[in-house]
Amino acid sequence: MKPVNFAYEKPRHLDDALRLLGNGSQAKVLAGGQSLGPMLNMRLVQPDLIVDITALDALKHCEKQQDFLVLGACITHADIEDGRVPDVTNGAMAAVACGIAYRAVRNRGTIGGSLTNADPSADWISALAALGADAIVRGKDTRTIPVESYVTGALETSLGENELLEAIRVPAHSKKARWGYYKVCRKTGEYAHAIGAVLLDRARNVFRAVIGATERKPLVLADAKPLFQGSDDLRKFDPTAADAMLASIGMDDPLDRKIHTVALARAVQQASA
């Protein structure tokens, strides 16, 4: 259980990091290493070079803007859990953060690392998609893309070889926004078997729903009305519509569909409570 030998660099400037990634070697970016670490230890990933991005101040920066919170990619789950960063989601992000794995993992695991590792069963890829967050990607240029487009499949993102995830931009909720997030785990802290998330923020005209942990990219509804009989009434949740959608993306096992539908139903229940 030891990784292969690799070279290691911990650049202090973003441009240096991009240069290291762009020179054609088998380089892997390391942030907190809580997902990559196991893969390295098991030798499932065998890079020539590890670029540790945790010394890049820009990636540990956090800024509250008018309608957004911009969180650097290297902000940890514990930073969010403990309120060391501002909150614009009425506590939604802290609640998600404190349910990720275990405290010792949250002290090093980062929001950007989790998103970029894009494990279908991890929390942030579903939660951030439900929050309507954007990924801010730095390469030659900076591009800002919705989280649901940033994640392209199981363990896959649209990140190019010469690009880094710099930050995540989360839109601020209005005071009356309703949020629900539920994940099904057999053991506390393990990767989820099913995730449901819903955000209804009438003041901003936002109604989003996500079904995650589907073993592929999460199912994101930027307009959740089809799940609520065409309305924005949380009490009108229609499990059969969710079931049909899951079937349409190829989830053939009825039990699997049921678990995912129930996860969403419980998220809806939280949101309407």
Least separation in angstroms between residue 264's CB and other proteins is: 16
What is the full DSSP assignment across 94-115? HHHHTTSS-HHHHTT-BHHHHH
In the window 119-158, what residues touch other proteins (CB under 8 A)? 120-121, 152-156
Q: Give dist(CA 102, CA 120) in Å, integer.
A: 18
Selected from 67, 189, 235, 254, the binder of other proteins by CB under 8 A is 189
CB 267 to other proteins: min, Å = 19
Give whichever of 117 and 177 is closer to other proteins, judged by the CB atom. 117
Coil, helix or strand at residue 233? coil
Give the Cα separation of 103 and 137 in Å (integer). 28
Smallest separation (angstroms) from other proteins to the CB of 206: 18
Q: Does 191 bind other proteins (CB under 8 A)?
A: yes
Residue 65's identity, in one-letter code, is Q
- Shortest Cβ distance from residue 176 to other proteins (Å)? 26
The two tokens of residue 3 are 């990784």
Q: Using CB under 8 A, which residues numbered 67 to 126 contact other proteins?
A: 72, 74-76, 78-79, 82-85, 101-105, 107-110, 117-118, 120-121
Closer Cβ to other proteins, 38 or 174, answer by number = 38
Q: For residue 208, what are the β-bridge partners? A: 199
Q: Which amino acid is at 157?
A: T
* 176-196 residues labelled b (16+ CB within 10 A) or e (exposed): ebbbbbbbeeeeeeeebbbbb
Question: Minimal distance in Å, beta carbon 138 to other proteins?
Answer: 17
How many residues make contact with other proteins (CB under 8 A)? Answer: 89
d(CA 40, CA 57): 25
* Residue closer to other proteins (CB basis): 31 or 177: 31
Residues between 203 and 222 that touch other proteins (CB under 8 A): 215-217
Q: Which residue's structure tokens are 């762009």?
A: 22
Task: Report the residue from 241, 258, 270, 272 that binds other proteins according to the rule CB under 8 A.
Answer: 241
Q: Which of residues 157-186 bind other proteins (CB under 8 A)?
A: none
Closest by alpha carbon to 54, among 114, 9, 6, 2?
9
Q: For residues 177 and 208, which CB has a smaller minimum distance to other proteins in the complex? A: 208
What's the min distance (Å) between Cβ of 226 and other proteins?
5
Our separate counts of H helices and E strands in the chain read: 10, 14
What is the number of residues in the chain? 273
H helices present in 82-230, as ranges? 92-97, 103-106, 111-117, 123-131, 147-150
Select 30 or 199, whichever has its Cβ closest to other proteins: 30
Query: Hey, which residues between 5 and 44 contact other proteins (CB under 8 A)?
Result: 5-12, 16, 19-20, 23, 25, 28, 30-34, 36-44
